[in-house]
Chain A
Amino acid sequence: EIVMTQSPATLSVSPGERATLSCRASQSVSSNLAWYQQKPGQAPRLLIYGASTRATGIPARFSGSGSGTEFTLTISSLQSEDFAVYYCQQYNNWPLWTFGQGTKVEIK
């Protein structure tokens, strides 16, 4: 099983600041990496797939980068609606997806 490790567990950021979230895979997943945003009481929402392609309707302030085992999600200027938990997901081993444990982005 490919293990996905996210860091940090919690990120405290002020509105308008930049947030950088990391995701590491236990083995190469090429660019088969997605990012999701989840708010309390809601289902996850797909933000990024293919490591760097924004899903439909996702604002340009969200960007993804990386390949192989190291990935980054950057939110360029945090808006109030961006405070949430973010998960990475590898699907290189599809259909055996695995998710990271999540990074909570909270208001500083």
Chain B
Amino acid sequence: QVQLQESGPGLVKPSETLSLTCAVSGYSISSGYYWGWIRQPPGKGLEWIGSIYHSGSTYYNPSLKSRVTISVDTSKNQFSLKLSSVTAADTAVYYCARDGGGPTDYWGQGTLVTVSS
């Protein structure tokens, strides 16, 4: 059973960098698939942030590309998200997920990140 678990600070100050990690169990990242981040502002819809392959190839949402970095650590079977220069508009539940080339069959439980001073 594939499981994903997000971790990281729940509170980030404006202008700082949001950092999250997603630990994957039950499947080796090196075996394939892309691995992605999606966010959901409170009471709103879903927004894809970006995805990474085990080789390190990345794709980012153009609207966030200038602020996003996604990296992978295959030795720890995890991948990470960094979002710089955050504002209140970046307050959201952040999900990590297995990107099956579109259909996303495994998701983490999500972690709420609040941007506030």
Interface residues of A (CB under 8 A from B): 1, 32, 34, 36, 42-46, 49-50, 55-56, 87, 89, 91, 94-102
**16 A–B contact pairs at CB < 8 A?**
A1-B62, A34-B103, A34-B104, A36-B104, A43-B97, A49-B103, A56-B105, A89-B46, A95-B34, A95-B36, A95-B51, A95-B59, A95-B99, A97-B102, A99-B46, A99-B48
Q: B99's closest neighbor in chain A, by CB?
A: A95
Asked whether B61 lies within 8 Å of A99 as measured between CB atoms, the reply is: no
Asked whether A87 lies within 8 Å of B46 as measured between CB atoms, the reply is: yes
Main secondary structure of the interface of B (DSSP, over half): loop
Mark contacts of B27-71 with chain A using CB atoms, 8 A cut-off: 1 yes-contact digit, 0 otherwise.
000000010100000000111100100000001011000000000
Please list the 8 inter-chain residue pairs (A to B) with the smallest Cβ-Cβ separation, ordered nearest first.
Answer: A91-B102, A49-B103, A43-B107, A95-B59, A99-B46, A97-B48, A101-B45, A34-B103
Main secondary structure of the interface of A (DSSP, over half): loop
Count contacts on B: residues with CB < 8 A to the other chain. 22
Mark contacts of B85-111 with chain A using CB atoms, 8 A cut-off: 1 yes-contact digit, 0 otherwise.
000000000010101011111011110
